[in-house]
A and B are shown apart, each in its own frame.
Chain A
Amino acid sequence: MPAYRRAYLFVIRKKGKTALLLVTFLVIMTLLLAGMAVNRAAKTAAAQLRESIGGYFKIAPDYQKMNIRQFTDRQLIDQVMETEGIKAYNAMDTWYLSVPELTLKPGKFTGEGDGKAQMTRLLGNNDSSLHEYFVLNIFTLEEGRHLKPDDTGQALISRELAQMNQLKTGDTFTAYLTEDGTVAGEAAGAGASEDGYRLQIAGIFDEMHTEAGNQNTPECDLPANFIFIDAATSQEIGRKLQGTVQRYFNGGAAFFARDPKELDRIVQEVQRLDGVDWDSLKLTVNNTAYQKSVEPLDRLSGMTFLMVGLITVISVSLLSLLLTLWERDRIHEAGVLMAFGISKRNILWQHFLECGLIFALAFCLAAAVSFPLSRQAGKVLYHDAAGEAKENTEAVSYTFTNDPVDVDAAAPEVNFGAELRLPALALSGVMGIVIVGISVGISFLVIVRRKPKELLTVME
């Protein structure tokens, strides 16, 4: 009689043992599957975060210094971009222009009847999606599209500003340089020059994690009044104000690492670049968005990895103990089978098949149970792991008086979905088979060490 037939007969006739083993396997596999699904989800989410957020560092003129000899210009950007591991950059400018066609959100100057009430902040960048405010999740684009390097005469405005002026994407407005090109002086706003820049609204953003400001905040510092403009327009303004084509970016440039884990190395390499005057420039690193988001995921991943490891060890111990106890009862049977010339290997195979059959059934049941369970367990575990980090994030708000690079960034929403996928299912199936194999092997030592005659003696 072949081993599989003997195994089948054992499984269907020894109902008590089969049921106990089935329940044991079901519990083990459900925990293992759920643990692996959550672990995999955490790793996937962390990997996605690494790709999507990235860490960044900013090189900008150190305006605290009296004597600035070097600015963030094209040459410096090209030099930095040669460093391995940087995937993109965003060169930034900040200008203050008058927008007489628009009604700005009122602030300090409106109350004082100052002409500067019509001036606001224009933020020039070659890719607005890489602007710190968007990267740090302080603003989110709600409508339209981001500004790209090839754009000319395009702008992003806030939803509040759009609503106050009944503007939508595709509408246009004009921004004017003031006579002296600065916010200072009575000429600002009311005294706008003829140098106007026609801007079309490419997108509308919402403010997140910001303080609305108060009546003492100048209009240009209220985030609702911020206007993002494309690089070409920004360069044109710069050329006008700086009077030269070879101009620098007054807001500096942000450089994004392909993998935030590499950020420290990249920064070290950049700091060693030749010909860079670090007395004039300030290099600041902001990795907090990634760190905050990845921290709970790393914790969860570690926790579930430990859980899977513990389940495996406990499973092997428990199953080995259970099977060893049963194996003692089966010395009799093994002795008889060996007396009829059936090899130990064949008997071991039979015992493995018995457990394998029950395991296969338990695995199917566990997979069905684990689908909803892993989703629920994932949510609970992630919520627990993310709780602390989220509290920290919620306590932070951006006041727009700081450099964004120094901001303790808000953790972006993580798309965490612990769902049982085929690779996790396959891996846990393999792990289950290994657990069965090890446990059966350990329990079989009771038999394997004895000669057939000894088994018969024990039997008697």
Chain B
Amino acid sequence: MNILEARQVFYYYTEGRPVLNGIDLGFEKGKMYVILGPSGCGKTTLLSLLGGMDVPSAGQVIFNGKEIREIGLERYRREGVSFVFQNYNLIDYMTPEENVCLTAKEEPLPVLARLGLTGEEARRNVLKLSGGQQQRVAIARALASQAPVILADEPTGNLDEATAREITAVFKDAAKTYGRCVVMVSHSNEVAKEADVVITLHGGQVA
């Protein structure tokens, strides 16, 4: 059963030139989805619509059988989805522990420990962590929110190959072990290989 759906989603920046052109997709819990496609094909736009950061020009985004506008976009973002960004987007005046606390519905330290951060690292200035560690903090923040859907926009884009593999494994674990629905935008075929479902976008449509 789909926890998240896109039904006939259209999105226009300019009238007559849709960035997304009638997208129909469904996403289930416990699976990792990777959206592939060339630059400008609408991957990030689709992710932001799925995450309630914007509303479609036409069509609907359904979460748990309800249109997200009915739920309320803020509430949906707070309870339904959680984001992981390419450039981590951690709050720089907070420690990793406090960053996780921003959204946490569970103790942050065990979550951070699960992702390999020590107690000392969890209380360090976030900017003094490596890129891989910062991305782990961002993933911990998404996991600790207990949102059933994790939306990740090129989360491995700034990482070296080895770290990217580790991070991809963490996302896969989130889907398999914790039953989350992970939707990840990526350019990487390596990441796509780990996905349960690969969605390719081309010209604003599912190829």
Partners in one complex: yes
Residue ranges of A at the interface with B (Cβ–Cβ < 8 Å): 1, 6, 9-10, 13-14, 332-333, 335-343, 451-453, 456, 459-460
- On whether the beta carbons of B78 and A340 are closer than 8 Å, the reply is yes
Contacts of B103 in A (CB 8 A): 340-341
Q: A339-B83, A340-B145 are in contact. Are A9 and B54 (CB under 8 A)?
A: no
- On whether the beta carbons of B101 and A338 are closer than 8 Å, the reply is no
Contacts of A336 in B (CB 8 A): 85, 89-91
Q: A1-B101, A340-B83, A340-B103 are in contact. Are A453 and B54 (CB under 8 A)?
A: yes
- On whether the beta carbons of B76 and A1 are closer than 8 Å, the reply is no
Would you give 21 A-B contacts (Cβ < 8 Å), ordered by A?
A: A1-B102, A9-B94, A10-B93, A14-B93, A333-B91, A333-B92, A335-B89, A336-B85, A338-B53, A340-B77, A340-B83, A341-B79, A342-B74, A342-B78, A343-B74, A452-B54, A453-B53, A453-B54, A456-B48, A456-B53, A456-B85
Contacts of A460 in B (CB 8 A): 87
**Is the CB of B168 closer than 8 A to any CB of chain A?**
no
A456 to B101, CA, bound (A): 21
Binary A-proximity of B70-109 (CB < 8 A = 1, otherwise 0): 0000111111001101010111111000100111000000
- On whether the beta carbons of B102 and A13 are closer than 8 Å, the reply is no
Q: A340-B83, A341-B74, A460-B87 are in contact. Are A452 and B53 (CB under 8 A)?
A: yes
A452 to B79, CA, bound (A): 16
Contacts of B98 in A (CB 8 A): 1, 9
- On whether the beta carbons of B145 and A339 are closer than 8 Å, the reply is no
**Is the CB of B51 closer than 8 A to any CB of chain A?**
yes
Q: Interface size (B, Cβ < 8 Å)?
A: 26
Of B48, B75, B85, B91, which contacts A453 at CB under 8 A? B48
Q: How many A-B residue pairs have CB under 8 A?
A: 62
Contacts of A333 in B (CB 8 A): 91-92
A406 to B94, CA, bound (A): 77
- On whether the beta carbons of A337 and B102 are closer than 8 Å, the reply is yes
Minimal beta-carbon separation of B48 from chain A (angstroms): 5
Of A1, A9, A338, which contacts B77 at CB under 8 A? A338
- On whether the beta carbons of A339 and B74 are closer than 8 Å, the reply is no
Residue ranges of B at the interface with A (Cβ–Cβ < 8 Å): 48, 51, 53-54, 74-79, 82-83, 85, 87, 89-94, 98, 101-103, 141, 145
Q: Which residue of B lies closest to A12 (CB)?
A: B93
Q: Which residue of A lies closest to B72 (CB)?
A: A341
Minimal beta-carbon separation of A251 from chain B (angstroms): 81
- On whether the beta carbons of A341 and B54 are closer than 8 Å, the reply is no
Contacts of B77 in A (CB 8 A): 338-341, 452
Contacts of B141 in A (CB 8 A): 340
Contacts of B94 in A (CB 8 A): 6, 9, 13
A295 to B81, CA, bound (A): 69
Minimal beta-carbon separation of B1 from chain A (angstroms): 24
Minimal beta-carbon separation of B99 from chain A (angstroms): 9
Contacts of B102 in A (CB 8 A): 1, 6, 337, 340, 342
Contacts of B89 in A (CB 8 A): 332, 335-336, 339, 459
Q: Which residue of A lies closest to B88 (CB)?
A: A336
Minimal beta-carbon separation of B169 from chain A (angstroms): 24
A108 to B89, CA, bound (A): 101
A73 to B198, CA, bound (A): 113
Q: Which residue of B lies closest to A10 (CB)?
A: B93
Minimal beta-carbon separation of B127 from chain A (angstroms): 11
Q: Which residue of A lies closest to B89 (CB)?
A: A336
A372 to B101, CA, bound (A): 46
Minimal beta-carbon separation of B145 from chain A (angstroms): 7
Find the residue from A1, A338, A339, A459 having the highest chain B CB count within 10 A.
Answer: A339
A57 to B92, CA, bound (A): 74
Q: A1-B102, A341-B76, A341-B78 are in contact. Are A451 and B53 (CB under 8 A)?
A: yes
Minimal beta-carbon separation of A334 from chain B (angstroms): 10
A330 to B174, CA, bound (A): 30
Minimal beta-carbon separation of A355 from chain B (angstroms): 15
Closest 8 CB pairs of A and B: A341-B78, A341-B77, A13-B93, A453-B54, A453-B53, A452-B53, A336-B89, A339-B83
Minimal beta-carbon separation of A354 from chain B (angstroms): 10
Minimal beta-carbon separation of B111 from chain A (angstroms): 15
Contacts of A10 in B (CB 8 A): 93
A332 to B90, CA, bound (A): 9
Contacts of A337 in B (CB 8 A): 91, 102
A14 to B91, CA, bound (A): 12
A331 to B8, CA, bound (A): 32
Name 4 extra pairs, CB < 8 A, besides A1-B98, A13-B94, A341-B79.
A13-B93, A336-B91, A341-B77, A459-B87
